[in-house]
Structure 1
Amino acid sequence: MGPKVDALVVDTTAFIRNAPIHELSSNITTVQEVVNEITSKRQIRRLVVLPYDLQLKDVFQENIQFITEFSKKTGDYPSLSATDIKVMALTYQLEKEKVGTEHLNTEPQMKKELTFNRLPNDLTNVAGFFVPGKKENQKDSEIKDSEVNDVIEKFDALNCSDNINGVKLDDILAPVKEESHIEKNENSSDNEKDYDSEEDDDDEEEDDDDEDDDSDSGWITPQNIASKRQEIILEESGEPLKVACITSDFAMQNVLKQIGLNMLSCDGRLIQQLRSFILRCYACFKTTSVMTKVFCPNCGNKTLKKVAVSLKEDGTQVIHISSKKRLSARGKRFSLPTPKGGKHAKNPILSEDQRIPDQRPSRLARTKNNPLDPDYTAGYSPFVMRDINSRSAMLGIRGNMDIKSLMRHEPNNARRKGKKKK
């Protein structure tokens, strides 16, 4: 079997699960961040002795920007990492180079629901009710009396005879002898019953044999699950794909499928329905399509939940709320820790408009050493000096960092440190 994909972009899950991706394509590509995510010794050993050449490519910034904006519109942006976005951007970049972008979507296609009226508009065929039809035109339905009289005269002129071609016919109203016919029917019915019972016995025996033969065929058992997965991965298609991405991340699959890019899975787990997500506040029941929000724009509480939405024919949104996920107020009320000052304070963020420190790195960390600068003072070392002693360096603060001071858990709870003593 020849290669199924001309250019295959690989996610981290394919390397972790040791998928036979060399059987899918001879041109396998990924980004450097995917290789950096592999930290296990066993997986690194497999990565060193790959039976194919793994190509690492850089992604253009415009493609990363397109994937980022598209994932925000579908609502999958909070579920994606920077590596996931780069993998999808590389797939989009190769698709643009090899095929083009005319067949790709620039906006997500919202799922539409078809609604049907419970009561039909035509009430003439309602069960249990009689609706009289429209009166027909009386001019068309009226028959002239002269025409009726002509028909009666013609029927009166007809003569009926008992002889046809010299043969006398019996009286059609003569009684029929039914006794012999009934006896014959009884005998034939008994024979049919015996024959049917024999056929039923034969059919039951044949069904039992067929069930025994087909009991193991078509079922997935622990013995053949590996071969079934291999068949799903290596299932041949009509034409080989130009570009595809292999991943098991459902958020990535949702974005790729809505764009129109081809995708594969390591174990056959592919999404069947496209979904779009928004944030819904379970305190004031307002919604927002900005998936980067943490606090509700209406009430200001941190009570936003991601829900799936679809569109009706008239354009109204339908929110699909899962009844399995129950809301709980546990852990919502607790005493706050004492606020701390300083330019590197990490206080919990309780509202969207709360003032936070700049978290800037030190001056030494912000200096750039450029030996080719015309104002460069000769005699100094051309090597870059690293800041390792300042408080910002100890806290791991670098330039252009996102502030992550949000409380995921109650800060007053004791944290586990080390192993439990026996």
Structure 2
Amino acid sequence: MRTTNALRRTATALLTTTAIALAPTALAAPDHAGAGASWRGAWAASPQAPTAPFAPNWSQQGFDNHTVRQTVRVTASGTRARIELSNRYGTTPLRVTGATVARTDKGGAVRAGSVRTLRFDGRPSTTIPVGGTLLSDGAPFPVKAFESLTVTLYLAGRTGPATFHHIAGATSYRADGDHRADVDGSAFKETGTSWYFLSGVEVTGGRDTARRDGIVAFGDSITDGVGSATDADNRYPDELAERLAAAGSPRAVLNHGIAGNQVVNDTTWAGEKALTRFREDVLNERGVRTVILLEGINDIGGSTVDSPVPPTPDVSVTELIKGHRTLIRQAHAKGLKVIGATLTPVKGSFYDTPANEAKREAFNTWVRTSGAYDAVVDLDHAVADPTDPDRILPAYDSGDGLHPNDAGYRAMAGALDLNQL
């Protein structure tokens, strides 16, 4: 499905005003049950404007008397939890009638006895203004790293187009009416693979309360996990978090990838450009010390690929490097360490042209040799076929020549030097 003309006009207007609008409308609800607590990110997903470039989803029509149940896996422990909801790309104020958090069971079910009502400034319901982001109050809900949580939202009225994250790599569930407190999943007749309104889970409490060593993986579809198995949590940031824990150095790893995203160009279907969204998606994260930058292949190939979405303007290697230098400066100004990643192979994919390959190689040479980053991880070499280095190793290829499979994402996570993190 192509984006409608009306949505394109709305998205374009939002793109030009977001830098001004977001800051004053972002809200942080008081934590009535834990004021002064030191919160840190445990899970995240970057918000996107409503779109359906490849397959139908619920974002463009939104919700009306629906309950939406969504499952996420956290990578940090705590004794209290709260959620972040985003109406960044909404066209009307978002009324959330009620929300719960619970421990995940099978399918759309949750574990009996685990359902907790979430409150917002002490109330069970809340309204999030257009462009706004809201944190719930902290709930007494102990969680462990790598535990799956289910967040359920009841939306009694018409929401209009929904801010969402397109490629979740996880199953979400929808039911008619109010089923926020249901334990079994029988009412949830519809499923999808996107997250709606939910953009973060934070934790506090426990022995790790004071830690400020979280990691943000920032990028496009290869960070987002396209090509990995659904509901398996095998994206490379997931694999990195597991590797750190196995090495005795557990760290929260937050995934801020958006499939199709670009550094230099805005799109209506793959999020605002990295140069715009980096502030909201990365610099505002709590408890983070390091960011891994893996992005640029869509800038290189976006003007040449034949796909259901419109081509984007050509981006030179010089422009791409300038964009990365800007992100590095912004991260350093916030006190973050920056790890630069080389772009992975594209031979045999829809981006495979001599011109695109020359750009990829030139950019990767700059990543390896410029000294612009605090450290470098060579993900290109990590997944390349030694006998044909411009191609992903067949054992690591999801089948499209561009996106790794589960084994490929595991190899990417294994290439990172844990000491550099």
Q: Please say whether Structure 1 and Structure 2 have the same fold, judged by a TM-score greater than 0.5.
A: no
Q: What's the TM-score, normalizing by structure 2?
A: 0.21
Q: What's the TM-score, normalizing by structure 1?
A: 0.21
Q: Which has the larger radius of gyration?
A: 1
More strand by share: 2
